[in-house]
A and B are shown apart, each in its own frame.
Chain A
Amino acid sequence: MTTLLKRSILSRSYGDRFVAALFQGFAIASGAIVLLIILFLLRESYPILHRVGVLRFFRDPSWHPTSGEFGAMPMLWGSLLVTLGSVLIATPLGILSAIFCQYYAPPRLAPLYRRLIELLAGIPSVVYGLWGLVVLVPLVRRIQPPGTSLLTGIWVLALMILPTIMLVADASLANVPAAYLRGAAALGLSRWAIVRGVAIPTAQAGLMTGILLAIGRAIGETMAVLMVCGNVVQVPDSLFDPVRTLTANIALEMAYAMNEHRSALFVSGLILTGLIAILVTIGEWVNRGQMYD
């Protein structure tokens, strides 16, 4: 489809000009929100960054903002470990589910299973958190106290991000041209060989996008991890140790934080946004690759 230079369709009528100007205004307002967010994060974190500098946030041994220690590294580790664990679990399960739906499931089962996953995608994170707190935490505590731990966090998050990976993968597998599959089948390849050799490579960029989205969701998730992770600021030694993520840190302390402490929490927010910016860049890069292929 050719792109149209749509501005040129504009007539000189008053209505067209008004609508165009109005919508341009809306568009600029929408674009300004990101700038406003960054501006306010910077403005609010400026006092502490100005006084102690950025490096202290990565070098201080721990997080005691009221007594002047601002080490955010344990929480960065917390965020990364919880994310890594949940993505490692959810990715194979999600992609296998999508392959199941597209290529293996009996025709009546596939839409049912998809509907189930869609339903789960819609369950709010605080409900996952509630369930994790009431059901999983006591369960893990029986193995090793205190129960609120990295493991519980990974478990809950994996369930939460699985639908994202599954649904995106499902959609991109559905977009694989049927001709490719027919062609491969005509060569006498087995179903799994077709999936592995044709479908997955073709849908690769889509699968990657799904995983990236899931990573973004996992890093940004607050309530569920706040409720099940224990929130102790430490680099965990085992899966059963409690951890605190950057997001939980904000949610936990924001209500009580004053002055520099509050400012330090906005730095947490900045670090989080930085992580997301990195992810978005990777995502762009993946999509570019897809375009040039």
Chain B
Amino acid sequence: MIKQRPRSRRSSFGEPLMQGLLWSSVLLITGAFMWLCSDIVRHGFRQLSWDFLTQLPRDTGRSGGIGPILVSTGLIIGVCLGVSIPLGVGTAVFLNEFSAPQRWLSQFLGISLDILAGVPSIVFGLFGNAFFCKTLGLGFSILSGGLTLACMVLPILIRSTQAGLQSVPNDYRLSAAALGVSRSAVLWQVLLPAAMPGLVVGLLLGIGRAIAETAALLFTSGYVDRMPTSLMDSGRALSVHIYDLAVNVAGGEQNAYGTALVLVLLLMMINGSVSWLGKRFQQTRILDV
């Protein structure tokens, strides 16, 4: 009791101090971020137009639009998700539903996913360049870029799908077993729909990371800003375009800001629509079928 007295006195002194500290740091952060966002919106908004979104870049990007760059970005993300979703969901299901946590394979996978999640994107770029571009002979191509990004988003996808599966009560698994229902049927009918929120979060984070990625793409999907005609063509992603305009093109800031705004808006749109779709999908699975 005696011990507590000085403590409470100190904290009564600390309370207004803390209030001040908290509010000022919050204001500081909000201010900094308003500065950043208003800059992007202010400079970027002027550039936005239908032509900007559809036309070819001209004069090394100073003028013209970002049409081919949007297409390349879409293709890269498509390749990335096409590979990483089955691989990621499959791995998560295997870890959570088919494998005992004590098995060495599960433990090895756990550790390697932790490492994979931490590997800097530039190292993925190095790996992608050495493995996909050189060893597999895919060259600078949308395919190389997409595959490199797939490796990168895999741990995010796996971890969130796992979290989703873990949140599904064991009751379902038990009652399914007691009813003699096969494992895969429970998986498709009950577990995956119930784990959908986790999966959606993973997908969101994965797309977010992939679409924002620059470093891993510099040496895998390349710089070419032309309209791609196949997955084997080199294609420039939005983020690489921003980098190039910001760093290598005198007078490229305006279009860099425009592209940045497009990228940020795209990210927000994807986030919104995927979470909406995920929710809908889950509901239909539970209610209608």
Residues of A at under 8 Å CB distance from B? Answer: 1-7, 9-11, 13, 15-16, 18-20, 22-31, 33-37, 40-41, 43-44, 92-93, 96-97, 99-100, 104-105, 113, 116-117, 119-120, 122-131, 133-135, 159, 162, 187-193, 195-196, 216, 219-223, 227, 247, 250-251, 254-255, 265-266, 269, 272-273, 276-277, 279-280, 283-284
Contact = CB atoms under 8 A, between A and B. Distances in A.
A26 B86 contact: yes
Given A129-B243, A251-B215, 9 more contacts: A3-B101, A6-B96, A16-B182, A16-B184, A30-B91, A33-B112, A130-B243, A222-B121, A272-B120
Q: SS class of chain B's interface: helix, strand, loop or mixed?
A: helix
Given A100-B22, A124-B212, A193-B7, A247 B154 contact: no
15 contacts: A16-B182, A23-B90, A27-B91, A27-B109, A31-B105, A31-B108, A34-B115, A34-B116, A93-B28, A117-B29, A131-B39, A220-B119, A220-B120, A250-B126, A273-B120
Nearest to B98: A20
B256 A130 contact: yes
Nearest to A26: B90
A37 B25 CA distance: 41
Contacts of A122: 208, 212, 264, 267-268, 271
A131 B100 contact: no
A44 B126 contact: yes
Contacts of B90: 22-23, 25-27
Interface stretch (B8-16, B45-53, B60-68, B279-287): B8-16
A19 B105 contact: no
Contacts of A6: 96-100, 173, 183
A131 B122 CA distance: 21
A116 B33 CA distance: 8
B271 to A, nearest CB: 7
A4 to B, nearest CB: 6
A122 to B, nearest CB: 5
B127 A36 contact: yes
B86 to A, nearest CB: 7
A133 B257 CA distance: 12
B242 interface: yes
Interface string B57-95: 000000000000000000000000000001110110111
Closest CB pairs A-B (n = 9): A220-B120, A26-B90, A124-B212, A193-B11, A222-B215, A23-B94, A34-B112, A27-B94, A276-B118
B33 A251 contact: no
Interface of B: 4, 7-8, 11-12, 14-15, 18-19, 21-23, 25-26, 28-30, 32-33, 35-37, 39-40, 86-88, 90-91, 93-101, 105, 108-109, 112-116, 118-127, 129-131, 135, 151, 154, 158, 169-170, 173-174, 176-177, 180, 182-187, 208, 211-215, 218-219, 239-240, 242-243, 246-247, 253, 256-257, 260, 263-264, 267-268, 271
A7 B130 CA distance: 38
B121 A283 contact: no
A8 B118 CA distance: 34
B87 to A, nearest CB: 5
A26 B28 contact: no
A277 B36 CA distance: 33
A13 B187 CA distance: 14
A41 to B, nearest CB: 7
A175 to B, nearest CB: 14
B126 A41 contact: yes
Contacts of B30: 113, 116
Nearest to B169: A1
A7 B183 CA distance: 9
Contacts of B29: 93, 97, 117, 162
B83 to A, nearest CB: 10
B36 A131 contact: yes
A30 B182 contact: no
Contact of B11 (A1, A30, A196, A227): A196
B214 A15 contact: no
A161 B151 CA distance: 22
Nearest to B124: A37
Nearest to B10: A193
Contacts of A97: 25-26, 29
B12 A31 contact: no
